[in-house]
Structure 1
Amino acid sequence: MATATYNEETTDQEGAGFAQTYLTPGAGVLYALLNTVLSATASQFMALGSQAGIPGLQLIFVTKLGETLAVLLFLPFFRPKLTTENGRQTLLMVLSTITENAGSVFQFMSFVFLFPGIAFGIIKGSLPLASVCIGFLFMKETVGVVNCFGIVLNVAGVVVVTYGLITENTSSTQRLTVSILIPFAATFCKAPSLIIARSLIGVQKVSVLTVLFYASLPGAVVLLGLTYLFETPIWAMSAQTVGYVIGLCLCDCGAQFATNLSLKTEKAGITATIKTFTIPLAVLLDYIVLSELPSPLKSGGVVLIVFGTGVVAVYTWWRHRKETLHKNLMQSLDFDK
């Protein structure tokens, strides 16, 4: 009996040690990677819903409504503080609401003009550089040489993908211009949104639910009005289309939670860089779901982005693991007292 108990305790300790050594240091990285999977899948549901005849703004409204319902579901269990502490925090919350919803509109609308894999190639690939620059200006957050190398590769990949769009263009110049400008508009809304969320969640320790509540509820109300103002909503859907809409809501909601949880421990630039792994996943799903195979030029850009993302993700995990091991060593030697 004593031996069995000892073995069980040893196993539990080993399991806890493994989690603390390998999983906990990479929690922010894992949340960011989870976001990539969910975002890539959501983009396919958005494209399929659009092809089924559902207006774009209506689909975006449904995603914000789904986020609002999910937050309202969790509020009674976690009971976060929903009021702000000062005027500066109120201003940041308002700016977070505006930039997050504007970024979501531009991002999802880009899927109407481009295949999701290519749209993500522009948005996610240019987001790290924009996030790092804005983060340095407003929060004095910096990234190391290795992370800078990964971000440069991402930017190079975006340039290649964009050049491929221009050279392989078979549509009108106006449509090509819109196809490029909308993803970049999404980038320059998403980047400030990440910085603000990092400040609120990671620095000021505001609850993830609070930030999502103020972003999703006004967004759902405004998008419902825009849907009726600029489009003709279609509420009578086939069972298959309803499945697309439900899948879009679930994936987008999960992606939003994953991003904000990542920002609790990671800098905005690092989170944005890891999220570029959405691009190869979206390209793969483009081929599986939409039967769209990217050209060699676009594929080369995607490879650069994947490599840059891998550099940042692995280096970030290794750095956090090294810090955790150092902290554990100091505690074992009682140097932390």
Structure 2
Amino acid sequence: AVSCTLFGAFASQFMALSSQAGVPGLQLIFLMKLTQLLCVLVILPFVRPKLTTEDAPQALTLSATTVTDNLGTVLMFLSFVYVVPGVAFGVIQGAIPVSTACVGFLFLGERLDAIDSGGILCSAAGVVLVAVGMSTAADSSSHPQLTLAIGILLPLAAAFTKGPNNVLMRSLLGVRGVSVVTVVLYVQLAGTPALLAATLLLETPHWAMSARTAGYVIGLGLCDTFSSLSVKLVLGQEKAGVTAALMTLVIPFTILLDSVFQSHVPNLLEAAGVTLVLLGTAAVGARTWWKHRQDSRRTWLLERMNFLTSQPDDVKHAAGL
């Protein structure tokens, strides 16, 4: 989870810097997805995963995952064009656990205990404060209200798309055992040509770039690739709601990078909202660590008891059984 958040923080900065250099947003997302597709095609011969679905429900889930993953990625990275990445992540990562937990409960029957629920609600309250802080900052600046509305709605739309996507991804990877490489391959095979068509129809692409801008674009593609693969590996091991809450660790990394690359310091309300999001994350993270520790100790004890009971009588006597 830590590596995923770190790569995600750098990807958001590269997206903002590339956009500021004049490269259109959809073109950047297309190049990002093209990079991820090429990386998957390179490792495909070495991994050799199963590329076909087992039944109709699995095929339907994979199709829905492809749509929500691509749509959520577009909405999330476009939000970095209108809002500094740290604030955008504050809204996105604070709202994702709410939508993920709700959908996870409805479709997978995943139940969260009181600590997990409290942490997620704390994160949601932080999102509200961040939105109010963004509105206050816009009132004291020259930003038009339309830009403010887009800057709030895009991250929220991304969050409520990423939430169901996390549940679908968890169903494929953690429940049905589909390979991460297979899922990423199908997602990028659908998203890459769709983004190319969108940027050609809706934008004026800038294919000629300076060396610095090209470096930003390459960094964007590589960081997003590592971040995407990492989060899918986490979803294969952990509940969708808990994974989404742990991913809010991206916020402090991004805010730190904002001060370096964007010269932006959050105002008081934004800082308070981000703090609530982080407190919610800390609660969920601590609960997850304790649960995994208890499960590991229980598994070790059961294996130990099974080993001893399978030994001859003299060994049992020596062990005190």
Q: Is the 8 A contact 1:43 1:116 kept in 2?
A: yes
Q: Does 1:38 align with 2:10?
A: no
Give runs of aligned pairs for residues 221-260 of structure 1, distance below 5 A.
221-260=193-232
CA distance in 2, matches of 1:126, 1:283: 18
Could you say which residue in structure 2 is the equivalent of 1:3? Answer: none
Question: Counterpart of 1:142?
Answer: 111
Q: Could you tell which deviates more after superposition, 159-168 or 127-136?
A: 159-168
Q: Using the alignment, how far apart are the partners of 2:268 and 2:137 within structure 1?
A: 11
User: Within the alignment, does 1:302 sit opposite 2:271 as a pair?
Assistant: no
Specify the alignment match of 2:179 in structure 1. 207
Report what 2:313 is aligned to.
Answer: none
- Please tell me whether the aligned partners of residues 156 and 304 of structure 1 are also in contact (alpha carbons under 8 angstroms): yes
Does residue 220 (structure 1) correspond to residue 192 (structure 2)? The answer is yes
Contact 1:36-1:275 within 8 A present in 2 as well: yes
Counterpart Cα distance in 1 of 2:199 and 2:123: 34
Alignment of 1:294-333 (within 5 A): 294-333=266-305
Structure 1 stretch displaced more, 42-51 or 315-324: 315-324
Q: Does the aligned pair in 1 maintain the 2:133–2:268 contact within 8 Å? A: no
Give the drift of 1:165. 1.1
Deviation at 1:101, TM superposition (A): 0.5
Contact 2:5 2:247 in 1 (8 A): yes
Match of 1:129 among 98, 120, 128: 98
Q: Secondary structure at the match of 1:334?
A: helix
> Partner letter of residue 311 of structure 1?
A
Are positions 1:158 and 2:127 aligned together? yes
Equivalent residue, structure 1, for 2:240: 268
Displacement of 1:217 after TM fit? Answer: 1.4
Please say which of residues 275-284 and 196-205 is displaced more in the overlay.
275-284
C-alpha separation in 2, matches of 1:270 and 1:154: 12
In 1, distance between residues paired with 2:302 and 2:80? 50
Aligned positions of 1:271-282 closer than 5 A: 271-282=243-254
Aligned to 1:182: 154
Distance 1:254 1:236 in 2: 26
* 3-state secondary structure, aligned to 1:333: helix
CA distance in 2, matches of 1:194, 1:326: 28
Which deviations, in whole Å up to 9, do the C-alpha atoms of 1:13-48 show, x marking residues without a partner?
Answer: xxxxxxxxxxxxxxxxxxx22211111110000000
Cα offset for 1:167?
2.1
Partner in structure 2 of residue 111 of structure 1 = 80
Higher mean Cα deviation, 305-314 or 217-226? 305-314
Look up the match of 1:80: 49
Contact 1:42 1:251 in 2 (8 A): yes
Task: Give, as a single letter, the amino acid of the residue that structure 2 aligns with 1:47.
Answer: A
Q: Which runs of 4+ in 1 moved over 4 A?
A: none
Instruction: Provide the alpha-carbon RMSD of the alignment.
Output: 1.2
**What is the identity, as a one-letter code, of the residue corresponding to 1:180?**
I
CA contact (8 A) 1:166 1:176 kept: yes
Task: Check whether the contact 1:41–1:282 (CA below 8 A) recurs between aligned residues.
Answer: yes
Given that 2:95 and 2:160 are in contact with CA atoms closer than 8 Å, whether structure 1 keeps it comes out as no
> Which residue among 224, 249, 256 is the counterpart of 1:284?
256
CA distance in 2, matches of 1:128, 1:251: 23
Name the SS of the counterpart of 2:306 in structure 1.
coil
Structure 1 residue 104, shift from structure 2 partner: 0.5
* Residue 128 (structure 1) shift: 0.2
Cα deviation, residue 168, structure 1: 2.1
What letter is aligned with 2:251?
I
Distance 1:158 1:121 in 2: 6
Deviations 1:86-141 (A, max 9, x none): 11111111111110000011001101110001111111110001100011011111
TM-score, normalising length: structure 2? 0.93
Q: Deviations over 1:164-187 (max 9, x none)?
A: 112221322222111111111111
Q: Which moved more, 1:154-163 or 1:165-174?
A: 165-174
Counterpart of 2:167, as a letter, is I
Alignment TM-score, normalising by the size of structure 1: 0.89
Letter in 2 for 1:122: V
Shift in Å at residue 270 of structure 1? 0.5
Question: Residue 93 of structure 2 contacts residue 244 of structure 2 at CA under 8 Å; is this kept in 1?
Answer: yes
- The Cα of 1:74 is off from its aligned counterpart by 1.2
Distance 1:221 1:289 in 2: 31
Query: Which residue in the other structure is 1:13 paired with?
Result: none
2:22 corresponding residue in structure 1: 53
Alpha carbons 1:64, 1:217 under 8 Å: kept? no
After superposition, where does 1:4-43 map in structure 2 within 5 Å? 32-43=1-12
Q: Quote the offset at 1:189 in angstroms.
A: 1.1
Q: Percent identity between the aligned chains?
A: 47
Q: Is the 8 A contact 2:119 2:281 kept in 1?
A: yes
